[in-house]
Amino acid sequence: MSRYEIPARNPEHTVTVGWDNPLITFFCQVAKPVEDEDEEDPIFLWVGTAPQEVTTPEDLARHLAPFADLSRETIDRLTADRAARINQPPRNAQQEAIESPRSPTGTSLPGSAIAGISHRIAAPSPAIA
């Protein structure tokens, strides 16, 4: 897995992108600062949580467009990460995690919950954007 922080349009946001080899997908996360421990999850966009969800850096860039630009350098790094790792099969623990995803609390998640994760948190509220 690779993981890079890139500049966000809003300087208060954190944008992370990368390649997840076990899921064979590029991913991105956009988060706001945590101001209070009781606050909801600071990640308000998380794409690339399902196998082969985002297959090209250009597709990743479309998801990120409201929040950040993917530079040519970052696209090249992500493309190289994918090329270097694509033929590496998932380790046993990674394969088990793919087949039986768990929530942050450790409980198993049904497949329908996994499929909807990026859709539930992908649209930022007007106050965040």
Residue 45 forms part of a structural domain:
yes
Residue 127 forms part of a structural domain:
no
Domain count, the chain: 1
**Lowest mean pLDDT across 1-15, 60-74, 81-95:** 81-95
Sequence-ordered list of residues with C-beta below 8 angstroms from that of 117, at least 6 positions apart, any chain:
46, 49, 50
Rounded Cα gap, residues 75 and 17, in angstroms: 10
Residue 126 forms part of a structural domain:
no
Residue 128 forms part of a structural domain:
no
Residue ranges making up the domain that contains 20: 4-121
Encode 94-106: b = buried (16+ Cβ within 10 Å), e = exposed: eeeebeebeeeee
Confidence band, pLDDT 50/70/90 cuts, at residue 65: very high
Residue 73 forms part of a structural domain:
yes
Q: What is the pTM of this model?
A: 0.69
Confidence band, pLDDT 50/70/90 cuts, at residue 86: confident
Residue 90 forms part of a structural domain:
yes
Residue 51 forms part of a structural domain:
yes
Rounded Cα gap, residues 104 and 127, in angstroms: 26
Residue 129 forms part of a structural domain:
no
Closest C-alpha to 114, from 53, 63, 44: 53
